[in-house]
Structure 1
Amino acid sequence: MILKKQLRNALAVLALCSVPVQGTLADTVTGKVTSKGAAVPYANVMVKGTTIGAAADENGMFTLSGVPAGSKIIEVRAMGYGSLKKTVDVGASGTIEVDFNLASSAVRGSEMVVTGSRDEVPRKESPVIVSTVTAEELTDITQSTVVSEGLNLATGLRVENDCQNCGFNQLRMNGLEGPYSQILINGRAVFSAVAGVYGLEMIPTNMIERIEVVRGGGSALYGSNAIGGTVNLILKDPVQNSYDFSATSSWVGVGEGEFGDAANDYTATVNASVVSDDNRMGMTVFGFYRDREPFDANDDGFSELAKIKNTTLGLRAFKRIGDRGKLTADLFTINEERRGGNRFDELPHESDVTEGGEHQIVSGALTYDQYFRDFDKLSVYVAAQDVLRDMYYGGGQALDAYGRTDDLSLQLGAQYKAVFGSSQVIAGVENNSETLVDEKLGYYDIDDAVHVPTAKLADQESTITGVFGEYQYIWNNLKATLGLRWDTYEVTNNVYPDADVDGDILLPRVTLLYSFSNDLQARLSYAEGYRAPQIFDEDLHVNSSASMQIRHENASGLKEETSSTYTASLDYNTRKHGVSYGFLAEGFYTELRDAFRVDIPEEPDVPGGYVYTATRYNAGDATVQGVNLEAHVAPSDRFAFRGGVTIQTSEYDEPDSDFGEERFFRSPDTYGFVTMDWKPTSRLGISLTGSYTGEMLVPHEMEPMALNKSDAFFDAGLKLRYTVPMDDSGVQLYGGVKNIFNSYQDDFDTGEDRDPGYVYGPLSPRTFYVGMKFGNLL
C-alpha cells in the first residue's frame, strides 16, 4: 500500500512538472553533415539548452524545426567522429542553412557520458573515469547475446558463473563481488536483489545502446551498494525511422571429445523505431527470444549450463513538450524459464537435482526533463520493477523445495542542475523502497499424511531516502568537484522483528580533474560508500544437491559495511597523422570496514538433515588495491584495437574460519581483455576478441572440503560478417566461434551429490554460431 501511494504521488508530480514552458518558435535550421567531402548519415543534431533535435538522413541532410529566436548553440555528434558545435543567430522567421564538417575520429574521450556526474558531458570532462561498451562492441564485434557476455569488455570487470546447476552469475568490479556493484537501468536503481540472481543473463544486448561503467565508490551519487562501482545500462532511444531483425543458431560445447554433446542455442531479435517528421515524438520497440538446451560437460547426466527459454519485449518513447521540455517513458517485460540439474522431462521434484524456475519481470520508468534559464535543467522521475518468480531448489525428490518470491522495487526522485559561469551545482532527493516476500510453498507430506502449510522465509520492507548534492568549480585547467549524500535507511523484517535495522550515513566524494591539454587529463578522487544490512542476491539462491542445500542469512546485529576508496589516473587520448590512440593508467585502493563475510557451518541445521544455513557476519576490515591499464589504437577507420588488464590484491585483515585464508576467494590477481576489429572492405568485417582470467582460490564446500587454486584461462573468439546492400536495406551474414581453444573448467563435481558452487573460469565452452541480420541501417 505504501508503494502504491508513493507511485500515485510521483505521477502527480510528473503531471504538474510537464506543463509546457513556451518559447518563441521561429526559425528552421537546415544543413548537411559531412566528413572529408562525404556525407555522414544518421548523425545526431541538437540545439543545446533545449530538447530540440533531429537525425541526419542517409545523405547527411538534417532539419531542425521551431528553433526559438536568439543566439543558439547547435551540436552534431556521430559515432566514429568528433563532435562539433556552432553558434547560430536565429531570427524571427525564415530558414537558416548551417553545414558541419566532422573530423573522422576513433578517439575514446570525445563520447558523451552521464554516469560519472549524473549529467551529460564529454568523457574527458567527467570528474571520474567512465568506460563505455558500445552497441557495436556488444553485437557486431563480440556477438554477445545477453549483457553478462559483454561486460568483460570493460577494464576491471569480470562476470562469473557461481552455480553449476542454474547459472547464478554475478559481476565483480575491481575484485569485489556482485553486491558491491550498483546496476542501473537508464540511471535508475531498480535492479533489485531478486533480479540480480540471474538478471545479467536475462537482459538482451539488442535493447542496449551502450553500457557505462564507473569504477570505484559511487555511493555519494547512487546510494547503497555502489562500493565497487556502478554499471549503467542505457537503453536504445528512437533517433530515426529504422528496423532490423536477426536470427542466430549456436552450438555450445563443440569438440568436448568423448564427453557430452553440443547443446543448441537459438536466438532471434527484432528492433524498430519511428520518429515523427517534426522530431517531437518517437518510439522504439524491441523483442528477444532465446531457447537454449542444457549442456552436460562431463557426461554425468547433470547439466553444467542451464536450460533457458527467454522472451523479452519492450519499448522506449519520448514526447517533446514545448521547446524545452521532454517526457520519456520506457517499459520492458522479461519472461524466462530456467532449469539446471537432470531429468528435464520430468517434474522438478521427480528429478535427482533441480535448480531453477520461472521469472516474470516488468520494469518501467517515466522521466520529465525541463530546461530553465540557459542551461539549467530539472529532472523528475519514477521507476519501478516487479519480479515474480516460482522456483525449485532441491534434490532427492524433495517436495519441500518449491518456492515463490514476489519483489517490488520503486524509486522516486528529482534533481536540478544550475549553471553559474565557471561553476555548477547538481542537487536532488531520492526515495528507494522495496517489498520482498520469499515463501516456501506448502506440500503434502506422504510419510506423515499431513499437509505442511506455506511458510514465509523472508518478508522484508526496506526504505532508503537520500539527499545528494554536488558542486563543481572550474579554474583554468582545474576542475574540482565536491559531492555529498545523506542516506537514512530502515529495513523491517516481518518474519523476525528482532532483526529490524535502521540507520543513517553521510557519504562524501571529492574529485580533482586537471587537463594538461585537450589530450591528457589527470584525476584524483576520494569517495566513501556503504552496504546496508539487508537481503542480497545470494540469499535468494540456494546451492542444491541431493545431499546438501546451502542457504544464507544475516547474523543478528549485523552492521552496515562502509568503505573508503582512493583513485588516481592518467588518461591520454589523441589523433595524430590519421592515427587515433590512447592509454589509461588508473590506481585504486579500497578499504572495507566491518566487511561482510559468510561462514558455512560444519553441521546441518537439524541433525541428520541436509540444509546448512550460512551466516553473513561483520568480519573486520579488508583491503582491495591495484591498477587498471587500458590502451587503444585505430590507425584507420577500418581497423581498431582495444585492450585492458587489471592487476590487484584483495585481502581480509583476518583469516576465514574454514581455511585460515586472508585472500578473497574467486578473485584473481590478474585479468583482462582484448578486442580487434578489421574491415578490409566496406562489406567484410573480421573481429578477434579475448578474455584472460588468472589463477584464483576456489573453495570446494562438499566433503572433503578443500581450497583449490584454479588454472588460468584465455577465452578467445573470432567473428566474420559480410553485408550485402540492397535498395533501402541490407542483409548481413555472420558466423564465428567463442572460446576457440576450449579454455574451460575440467574438474567439475559429478553426480547428484556434487558441489554446485564449485565452478569457475569462462562462462561457456567452445561455441560455434551462424546467423543473419536484416535491416535498413546496415
Structure 2
Amino acid sequence: MKNFILAIAVILFSAQFVLGQKKHSDAVIVGHVVCNDEHIPFVNVTIKGTTIGTSTDGTGHYRLVNLPVGKLTVVVSGLGYKTSEKIITTEADKTIEVKFEIEEDALGIDEVVVTGDKGASKRTESPVIVSSLSPALFSVSQSTVLSESLNFSPGLRMETNCQNCGFNQVRMNGMEGPYSQILINSRPIFSGLAGVYGLELIPTNMIEKVEVVRGGGSALYGSNAIAGTINMILKDPLVDSYELGASTSLIGVGVDGADDPALDYNANFNASVVSDDYKTGLSVYGFYRNKEAFDANNDGFSELTEIDNTTVGTRFFHRFGFRGKLAVDFFHIDEKRRGGNKLSYLPHMADIAEQLEHKITTTAVSYDQFFREEDKLSLYASGQKVDRASYYGVERSLADYGQTDDFTYNVGAQYDAKFMNSSLIFGLENTHSSLDDKKLGYYDKDQDIYTDNVTISDQTSNTVGLFAQYTYKFEKLKLSLGGRFDHYSIKDKAADKQAHSDKSGNVFSPRVNVLYDILPELQFRVSYSQGYRAPQIFDEDLHIEASQARRVIHKNSEDLKKETSHSYMTSLDYNTTIGNTKIGFLVEGFYTKLNDAFVKESSDPDENNVVTRLRTNAEDGAKVYGINTELSIFPSRDLSIVAGFTSQRSEYQKPQEFDTKSFLRTPNNYGFITVDWDFAGNWCLNATGNYTGKMYVPYYGNTISDPIAGELRESSSFFDVGTKIEYTTQLNGASVKFWGGIKNIFNSYQDDFDRNIDRDPGYIYGPGSPRVISFGVKIGNLL
C-alpha cells in the first residue's frame, strides 16, 4: 500500500522536471468584465487548455501575466453568468487589453459541472442531470454544515436516526444513506465510519459547491453509487481574499414542554493569497462550533446532542509551466458529541450515554497536465484517517467504551481526450479501506479481574477499478457509452471467528446515456446504468442504539451476497425566458430494481438485552420508482424562487419487517422551496420551506405491551418554514453583512418522542430541529 502511494507521489512531483519550466515571456492580458453596464467581481478568467487562471477583483478587473506566446482562448465564467470566450494572439513583452461583456445565467444553463461524467462540461451538455448546491443556497437556508443544506435539492432528504447521538444520513430517491456515494473533489474517500456523523461535521465555509447526480453512478464511481453521488468540491485559491463570520442560535425557543433553549455558537474564517505571477496559491479555512444538547420533552434525556467541533484546512496549488498544475488539500476535523443524560458526568456514570470523539484527517494530492489542445492527464492520491473513541452504554456500564480506527485511500490516473465531435475518458484507480473496531478492556470489580480488549470487527477491503466512457455528438443528439470493471476483495475477522472470512468478486457496471436537444430550450435525457454494493461494513453498522430496555447492533450475515441494481432514468429539462422572467422546469422519472437487496432481520434480545439486526439478502429484491420535479423562476435580478418536489414509492417484492413491503422511514412525498429577494438597496430577505410527507416508523418503546416485537406507526406530515433578513454595508473596502433568521417558525416538529431511561432512541423522524432563532455577522472582501 505504502509503495503504491509512494510511486504515485514520485510521478506527481517528478512531472515538473520532465515537463520543465518555461521562460518568462512578459506577455500580459488585462481587462474587465461587465454585465448590464456593471462591473462583475470574482468571476473566473482562464486560458483554455492550460492551468492558467485568476478571478476579477472587487472592481471587476483582471490581469494575467507571463502568458504563452501565440493564439490563446480566454474564457470568462462564473456562477450566475453565461460563459464567454475570446480568441486572442499574445506577443512577447506586450500587454493586450481584452474586455468582456457577459450575460446573466440565472438558470445555470452554462454552469460547468464535473460530476456527470468525471470531466468538465456545461450543465446542458452533461449526459446526466447535475444539480448544484452553491454558497448562495447555504446562505438562504442558514446552513452552517453540509447536512443542513441537502434538503434543498430534488430527491434528497436528510433524516436523524438517533436521539442519543444524532446519527443522521441522507436519503436519495428514497434509498438509505449507504446507497449514495459521498465524494470529496470527486474522490471516494468518505468512508463508512466517516459517514456515520460526517455530513454534520463538514462546514459549508470550506465548500465551493456541491454537485448531486441522481441515479446509478457505479459505472464511473464504483461501489455504493446506486442512488447517486454527492460531490463536495472544496474552495480553490484564485485571488487574495478573506472572510470572517460568527453566529449565535437559540434552539427550541417557545417549544411547549421543552427544557430551556439550547445555545449554538459558530465562528468561521476563510483566507487565500496568490502570488503576483499567479503560479502559486494558498487558501486556509477554519470553523468552530459549540452546541448545547436540547431536551424536547423535559425528561432529562437529550433529543439533540451537544457538539464541540473544530475544523481547519488548507488548499495549495503550484503551476509548472503553462499546462501543469499540482494541488494539495488537507483538512482536519476534531469533534466531540454527547447525548443521553447527566452530560456533565463521565459517560459510565450516566444512565444513558452515547459519546463520540472523532479525529478525521484528510489529505489529497493531484497533478493535472494538459496535452494537445484540451486533453488532460490527471494523477491523484488521497487518503482519510478516522480515529474514533466511543461510548455506547447504559446503567453505568464500564464495558461499553470503544476505539475504532479507519484508514481509506484512493489512488489512480485518468485521461480526458477531446476530439472534434467526441470525447473519451478512461482511467484506473485503487480504493483501499481498513477498519479496526474494538471494545476496550476494563477492571471488573465484582470478579476482581481486568478484561482484555475485544475485537468487534477487523475488516479490510480493496477495489481495483478500470473505467471508460466514450461520448459522441450527432448534431442535436449526444450518446455516451461507459463502463467500469471492478475487482473487490473483503477480509473480515470478527470477535467470534478464528479465521478471516474472505469475500471477493468481479463486477462489470455498464452505463448508457442519451441526450437530445428537442429545442434549444428543451432537452430530453434517458439513461440506463448498473450498480452494486459489496457486502462490506456500512455506516449504520458502526452505530449502536442504547437504552435500558435494549441495545441494538448491526452485523452482516456470513453468506451475504453483493447487491446489484438496474437503474432507468428519463428527464425533460426546459429553460426559457418570457419577457424579463427566466423560467426553468425539470421533470425526472426514475426506476431502480434492486436484486439481492439488503434487508435486516432482528433477533430476540440475549441475556444482556442486546438485539442484533442481521443484514441478509431479500428474496426477489426490491424496487424504487418515482418522479422528481424542480421549478426555477427569476422574475428579475433581485428575486429568485426555486421549488422541488418528489413523489415516489420504495417497496420490497415480498413483505419484510412488520409484514410490510414498504421501506420504513421513507415518505412517499417530500419537497422544498427557497425564495431570495433583494428588496431594497442593501437589504435581502430569504424564505425557505421543507415538506416531509407521512411515513411508516418502527417503534420499540415503553408505551406498548410488547416492546420487543414493536409496532409500526404512521407519522404525521411536516412543513418546516424559515426566514432570514440580511443587511450589507461597506467598511473601508470590505463588506460587512448583518443577518438574523428563524428556522421552523411554526415548530413543525415531532411531539411524541419516547421518554426516560427505557425509551426507544431510534424513534425519531421529521425535521431535524425545532424552532431556531439565529443572528450573526460576516466581514470580508468577497461578500
Name the TM tier (shorter chain).
over 0.9
Residue in 2 that maps onto 1:264? 263
Of the structure 1 ranges 610-619 and 701-710, higher mean CA displacement relative to structure 2 is found in: 701-710
The Cα of 1:293 is off from its aligned counterpart by 0.6
CA RMSD, Structure 1 to Structure 2 (Å): 1.2
- Unpaired runs of 5+ residues, structure 2, are none
Residue in 1 that maps onto 2:325? 326
Matched, 1:7 2:5: yes
Conserved? CA contact 1:311–1:335, under 8 Å: yes
Partner Cα distance (1:502, 1:226) in 2: 19
Partner Cα distance (1:402, 1:575) in 2: 60
Matched, 1:615 2:596: no
Residue of 551, 574, 577 corresponding to 2:576? 574
Q: How many residues align?
A: 771
- Cα deviation 1:468-487 (Å, max 9, x = unaligned): 00001111111100001000
Residue in 1 that maps onto 2:758? 753
Residue in 2 that maps onto 1:505? 507
Residue in 2 that maps onto 1:91? 91
The Cα of 1:204 is off from its aligned counterpart by 0.5
- Cα deviation 1:712-770 (Å, max 9, x = unaligned): 01111100110121121121111010011100001111011111111000000000011
The amino acid across from 2:193 in the alignment is V
Helix, strand or coil for the counterpart of 1:220? helix
Residue in 1 that maps onto 2:591? 589
Residue in 2 that maps onto 1:639? 639
Partner Cα distance (1:767, 1:49) in 2: 48
Residue in 2 that maps onto 1:132? 132
Residue in 1 that maps onto 2:108? 108
Helix, strand or coil for the counterpart of 1:83? strand
Q: How does 1:225-264 map to 2 (within 5 A)?
A: 225-264=224-263
Conserved? CA contact 2:53–2:238, under 8 Å: no
Matched, 1:729 2:734: yes
The Cα of 1:92 is off from its aligned counterpart by 4.3
- Cα deviation 1:264-306 (Å, max 9, x = unaligned): 1111011111111221111111110001111000011000000
Q: How does 1:22-41 map to 2 (within 5 A)?
A: 26=25, 27-41=27-41
Conserved? CA contact 2:154–2:646, under 8 Å: yes
Matched, 1:309 2:308: yes
Helix, strand or coil for the counterpart of 2:663? coil
TM-score by length of 2: 0.97
Matched, 1:707 2:706: no
Residue in 1 that maps onto 2:529? 527
The Cα of 1:357 is off from its aligned counterpart by 1.8
- Cα deviation 1:152-196 (Å, max 9, x = unaligned): 111000010000110000010000000000000111110000000
The Cα of 1:498 is off from its aligned counterpart by 5.2
- Unpaired runs of 5+ residues, structure 1, are none
Partner Cα distance (1:22, 1:127) in 2: 37
Of the structure 1 ranges 194-203 and 8-17, higher mean CA displacement relative to structure 2 is found in: 8-17
The Cα of 1:411 is off from its aligned counterpart by 0.3
Partner Cα distance (2:246, 2:326) in 1: 33
Of the structure 1 ranges 755-764 and 513-522, higher mean CA displacement relative to structure 2 is found in: 513-522
Residue in 2 that maps onto 1:652? 652
Residue in 1 that maps onto 2:562? 560
The amino acid across from 1:722 in the alignment is Y
Residue in 1 that maps onto 2:695? 696
Conserved? CA contact 1:108–1:573, under 8 Å: no
Conserved? CA contact 2:163–2:302, under 8 Å: yes
Helix, strand or coil for the counterpart of 2:680? coil
Q: How does 1:533-548 map to 2 (within 5 A)?
A: 533-548=535-550
Partner Cα distance (1:78, 1:539) in 2: 42
Of the structure 1 ranges 256-265 and 613-622, higher mean CA displacement relative to structure 2 is found in: 256-265
The Cα of 1:582 is off from its aligned counterpart by 0.6
The amino acid across from 2:172 in the alignment is M
Partner Cα distance (1:5, 1:81) in 2: 45
Partner Cα distance (1:23, 1:73) in 2: 19
Conserved? CA contact 1:396–1:547, under 8 Å: no
Identity percentage of aligned residues: 49
Q: How does 1:73-84 map to 2 (within 5 A)?
A: 73-84=73-84
Residue in 1 that maps onto 2:119? 119
- Cα deviation 1:189-210 (Å, max 9, x = unaligned): 1000000000000111111111
The amino acid across from 2:77 in the alignment is R
Helix, strand or coil for the counterpart of 1:679? strand
The Cα of 1:124 is off from its aligned counterpart by 0.4
The Cα of 1:22 is off from its aligned counterpart by 5.4
Partner Cα distance (1:314, 1:92) in 2: 39
Q: How does 1:428-439 map to 2 (within 5 A)?
A: 428-439=427-438
The Cα of 1:401 is off from its aligned counterpart by 0.5
Of the structure 1 ranges 458-467 and 25-34, higher mean CA displacement relative to structure 2 is found in: 25-34
The amino acid across from 2:290 in the alignment is D
Matched, 1:208 2:213: no
The amino acid across from 1:382 in the alignment is A
Conserved? CA contact 1:499–1:557, under 8 Å: no
The amino acid across from 1:6 in the alignment is F
Residue in 2 that maps onto 1:45? 45
Conserved? CA contact 1:573–1:580, under 8 Å: yes
The Cα of 1:17 is off from its aligned counterpart by 3.0
Change (3 A) 1:646 1:579: same
Partner Cα distance (2:16, 2:210) in 1: 29
Conserved? CA contact 1:24–1:68, under 8 Å: no
Helix, strand or coil for the counterpart of 1:659? helix
Residue in 1 that maps onto 2:345? 346
Of the structure 1 ranges 5-14 and 188-197, higher mean CA displacement relative to structure 2 is found in: 5-14
Conserved? CA contact 1:24–1:69, under 8 Å: no
TM-score by length of 1: 0.98
The Cα of 1:28 is off from its aligned counterpart by 1.5
Conserved? CA contact 2:252–2:258, under 8 Å: no
Partner Cα distance (1:256, 1:576) in 2: 45
The Cα of 1:71 is off from its aligned counterpart by 2.3
